[in-house]
Amino acid sequence: MFTMLNPRKFYRAVGRKKFLDFFVLTVFLLFFYGPLTNLLMLAFAEIYQYPNLIPQKFGFKWWEFVLSQKTMMSAVGQSFMFAIVTTVFSLLICLPAAYGLARYKFPGRRLVMFSFMLSNAFPKIGLYTSIGIMYYKLNLMGTFLGVVLIHMINTMMFMVWIPCGAFSSVHRQQEEAARDVGAGPFLTFCKVTLPMAVPGIAVACIYTFLGSMDEAQGTLLVGVPQYQTMPVMMYTVISDYNVMAAAVYALAMVIPTIVLLVLLRRYVGPEAIASGFQMK
Amino acid sequence: MAEITTNIKPKLRIIDMTKRYKNGDGVEHINLDVYPGELVTMLGPSGCGKTTILRTIGGFLDIDDGDITIDGQSIALLSPEKRPTAMVFQSYNLWPHMSIYENLAFGMKLRKVPKEQMNQQILEMLKMVGMIGSEKKFPSQLSGGQQQRIAIARSLLLKPEVLLLDEPFSALDAKIRVQMREELIRIQQELGITVVFVTHDQEEAMAISHRIVVMNKGVFEQVGTPIEIYDHPVTRFVADFIGEMNFMETPDGIRAVRPESLSLSRGSQGDLHGHIRTIMVLGHYAEVNVQCGDAVIKCNVQRDQMAGWAVGDEVSLSYTKEQFFATETVE
Ligand SMILES: Nc1ncnc2c1ncn2[C@@H]1O[C@H](COP(=O)(O)OP(=O)(O)OP(=O)(O)O)[C@@H](O)[C@H]1O
Ligand SMILES: [Mg+2]
């Protein structure tokens, strides 16, 4: 059995093609899961000193430390709060825009579509600085709305592009058939267009939600000290050089992501995402 | 409907209607009366404006001029949901996220049909279109032909004054298409519903219509029963578009003769003379191409009359029926 661990024997046994596949897969797994494994080890380590590859002692010490901090719970609460409000606001603002962009072919349409990417193309910190100046003038500094708006800047692209793709894939005839049998424009949208676009919209919501959960730079700039979300707290923890506490934070932040993805795995396929990124 | 008399009021009237798209395409000064229980087909090549007219009736296009009435009431300003019309498109009629039952019930619920009555009517309609048992399925689980049946059923359930069908069978296989058209005739006769049908398939139009409107480039070339249009085409376009036709140039105009109106004989007493180029036996008849001077004339001859003829034979042709288009009416 252990003779198989000899690479040369292994190569002979499985053949060149398979060996290459195996090699690539191994590299991929190490690259992808290596850091994650390290993170896991860090989070559950109690004693972990440099020359050792594996922690000397595992335990929940750092979890206790993190969970016992008063700010932690409030950060979790705030993160969810901002993520939910950002998602709802983006839905309300971006869905009509996405529908318009999907249905009406006006001149300059592509330019409008593209403009949603601009906020993601510029160096963020420059953008935030200028927004900060505006915020001071508008008294938005340190306000809830201010933080939500910063979060929305980052996620608008998803909320416009992906639902736009989803709306485009609803055929005109299907809407017209609904009008034909007696539904007005609004009812047609609610009963036919929207339900058919739901998979795409769900994907966009996930992106928006996770994007908001993950946002740190902007919140740090316009929200602190009134608002401290989880990623903002992580900045503080990391700057205290407490690696293990940081790992616990990181894991705690991954949990909602995983829960969301599992709940909505039916919708989150490569096709659903890709359909949103076609410039139709 | 040759026996229509003046005291029957038209169900649908299109009165001097004009619809222009921004790019200048469209239809102009369209006039058409469709009588109750009549199946009128708009027939013409691609891009001639059939869909445009149908969509103005259904309310999906605003008209620029003229009027459209149903039972004497103008519907020109009503939105589609307010019109007593029902439309079936070429494809994508059904809503994929709803079951067949929900698809059929959607419009009826909006009309507040009581549940008992609705269930019963849906069952009856499914029986009529031969789709009993599909209530719980979803559109993606049906074939193209089955989906079109459901789409027609959905329209009929709303008891429209006029049923509008825009090439409903053109995405289907030839065999299913023929079957569907037979069923449409049966349903139309059973319900006595008024239908405007659009197709670019002249055979389909001939098979199902009481009257045919032959269109070309946004105008009506001829309106008449299938027989009138076949036997007495008023323009060269109609003669060419409907069925097969031989055109023979003469100094004062063009003579048009259908292949089946020609008969072959030996000797020199016929109207035309030439020699046989090809003989193709196509079932119960044979298609014979005869070279007469520069022109090739196509004749359809019964199989039993083909005995003794061979390629290269000298032949004289005579015909019983012809159409004559004087030079000024030639486009
Ligand atoms: N939305 C539109 N905008 C501009 N022009 C249009 C539009 N829809 C149709 N047209 C033009 O109007 C003319 C008539 O189109 P229409 O769709 O009525 O033709 P059709 O007879 O139904 O053809 P087909 O058999 O291909 O369906 C065509 O020249 C077409 O290019
Ligand atoms: Mg058409």
- Nearest to B198, CA basis, from B94, B88, B37, B92: B88
Task: Tell me, yes or no, whether A98 and A25 share the same domain.
Answer: no
pLDDT of B110 above 90: yes
Query: A202 phi and psi, to 5 degrees?
Result: -60, -45
**3-class state of residue B255 by DSSP:** strand
Task: Tell me, yes or no, whether A263 and A125 share the same domain.
Answer: yes
Q: B207 with B201: CB under 8 angstroms?
A: no
Decide which of B323 and B198 is more confident. B198
Name the residue among B79, B93, B97 with its Cβ closest to that of A177.
B93
Neighbours of ion ligand 2 (CB under 5 A): B 51
Q: Chain A contacts of B90, Cβ < 8 Å?
A: 173
Q: What is the pTM of this model?
A: 0.81
Residues B223, B224, B226, B232, Cα dihedral to 10°: -100
Q: Chain B contacts of A183, Cβ < 8 Å?
A: 81, 106-107, 110
Kindly report the CATH number assigned to the domain that includes residue A204.
1.10.3720.10
Does a structural domain hold residue A65? no
**pLDDT score at A4:** 56
Question: Is the CB of B93 within 6 Å of ligand 1?
Answer: no
**pLDDT score at A280:** 41
Q: B311 with B265: CB under 8 angstroms?
A: no
Q: B93 with B165: CB under 8 angstroms?
A: no
Question: Which of A192-206, B100-114, B142-156 is predicted least confidently?
Answer: A192-206
Decide which of B244 and A68 is more confident. B244
**pLDDT score at B42:** 96
Cross-chain Cβ contact B110/A171 below 8 Å: no
> What percent of chain A is modeled with pLDDT above 70?
92
**pLDDT score at A276:** 52
Q: ipTM for the complex?
A: 0.85
- Nearest to A150, CA basis, from A217, A229, A77: A217
**pLDDT score at B6:** 63
Query: B256 phi and psi, to 5 degrees?
Result: -120, 130
* Average pLDDT of chain B to the nearest whole number: 91
- Nearest to B235, CA basis, from B208, B212, B215, B261: B215
pLDDT of A275 above 80: no
Task: Tell me, yes or no, whether A135 and A18 share the same domain.
Answer: no
**pLDDT score at B282:** 87
Q: Chain B contacts of A168, Cβ < 8 Å?
A: none
Cross-chain Cβ contact A173/B92 below 8 Å: yes
Domain boundary among A34, A58, A82: A58
Cross-chain Cβ contact A173/B93 below 8 Å: yes
Q: Chain A contacts of B113, Cβ < 8 Å?
A: none
Name the residue among A172, A180, A182 with its Cβ closest to that of B58.
A180
User: Cβ contacts of residue A157 below 8 Å, gap of 6+?
Assistant: A116, A117, A119, A120
Decide which of A89 and A245 is more confident. A89
**Residue ranges making up the domain that contains A139:** 70-276
Question: Which of A133-142, B100-109, B162-171, B195-204 is predicted least confidently?
Answer: A133-142
B168-185: average pLDDT: 90
Q: β-strand B219-224 against B211-216: which pairing, if any?
A: antiparallel
Identify the nearest ligand to the CA of B44 by its number: 1
**pLDDT score at B12:** 96
Q: B121 with B129: CB under 8 angstroms?
A: no
Task: Tell me, yes or no, whether A43 and A116 share the same domain.
Answer: no
CATH T-level fold of B250-329: OB fold (Dihydrolipoamide Acetyltransferase, E2P) (2.40.50)
Task: Tell me, yes or no, whether A269 and A136 share the same domain.
Answer: yes
Task: Tell me, yes or no, whether A142 and A105 share the same domain.
Answer: yes
**pLDDT score at B330:** 47
Task: Tell me, yes or no, whether A166 and A35 share the same domain.
Answer: no
Query: For chain B, which residues make up each domain, given as ranges?
Result: 12-237, 250-329
Task: Report the alpha-carbon distance of residue A120 to residue B98 in Å, rounded.
Answer: 38
pLDDT of B89 above 80: yes
Task: Tell me, yes or no, whether A82 and A152 share the same domain.
Answer: yes
Question: Is the CB of B51 within 6 Å of ligand 1?
Answer: yes
Q: pLDDT tens across A6-57, in order?
A: 777 777 777 777 778 888 888 888 887 888 787 778 778 777 777 777 777 7
**pLDDT score at A279:** 44
pLDDT of A205 above 80: yes
Task: Tell me, yes or no, whether A228 and A255 share the same domain.
Answer: yes
Task: Tell me, yes or no, whether A77 and A208 share the same domain.
Answer: yes
**pLDDT score at A53:** 72
- The number of folded domains in chain A is 2
What number of other Cβ atoms are within 10 A of residue A5's Cβ? 8
Question: Which of A11-20, A154-163, B175-184, B311-320 is predicted least confidently?
Answer: A11-20
Q: pLDDT tens across B308-324, in order?
A: 888 888 898 888 888 88
Nearest CA in chain B to A185: B81
Question: Is the CB of B47 within 6 Å of ligand 1?
Answer: yes
Task: Report the alpha-carbon distance of residue A165 to residue A203 in Å, rounded.
Answer: 11
Task: Tell me, yes or no, whether A18 and A81 share the same domain.
Answer: no
Q: Where residue A230 falls among pLDDT bands split at 50, 70, 90?
A: confident
Which long-range contacts (C-beta less than 8 Å, at least 24 apart) are formed by A274-277?
A: A275/A162, A275/A165, A275/A166, A275/A169, A275/A200, A276/A158, A276/A161, A276/A162, A276/A163, A276/A164, A276/A165, A276/A166, A276/A200, A276/A203, A276/A204, A277/A161, A277/A162, A277/A165
B46-56: average pLDDT: 94
What count of residues does chain A have? 280
Residue nearest to atom 24 of ligand 1 (CA): B46
B24-41: average pLDDT: 94
Q: A128 with A218: CB under 8 angstroms?
A: yes
**How far from B289 is each of B118, B123, B230, B303, CA to CA, in Å?**
59, 54, 22, 15
Question: CATH number for the B12-237 domain, one of 3.40.50.300, 3.50.50.60, 2.102.10.10, 2.60.40.10?
Answer: 3.40.50.300
For B91, the token pair is 């494809």
Taking each continuous run of H as one helix and of E as one strand, the counts in chain A are: 14, 2
Question: Which of A196-200, B203-207, B231-235 is predicted least confidently?
Answer: A196-200
Does a structural domain hold residue A203? yes
- Nearest to B88, CA basis, from B174, B168, B6, B5: B168
Ligand 1 atom closest to Cα of B198?
A: 22
Query: A179 phi and psi, to 5 degrees?
Result: -60, -40
**3-class state of residue A65 by DSSP:** helix
Task: Report the alpha-carbon distance of residue A240 to residue B4 in Å, rounded.
Answer: 95
Task: Tell me, yes or no, whether A36 and A133 share the same domain.
Answer: no
Q: pLDDT tens across A46-96, in order?
A: 777 777 777 777 777 777 777 777 777 788 888 889 999 999 999 999 999
Task: Report the alpha-carbon distance of residue A190 to residue A154 in Å, rounded.
Answer: 27
Q: pLDDT tens across A101-134, in order?
A: 998 888 888 888 888 877 777 788 888 888 889 9
Name the residue among B91, B96, B110 with its Cβ closest to that of A181.
B110
B155-162: average pLDDT: 94
Nearest CA in chain A to B59: A180
Mutate to test the pocket of ligand 1, among B46, B48, B201 (most ligand atoms within 8 A of CB): B48
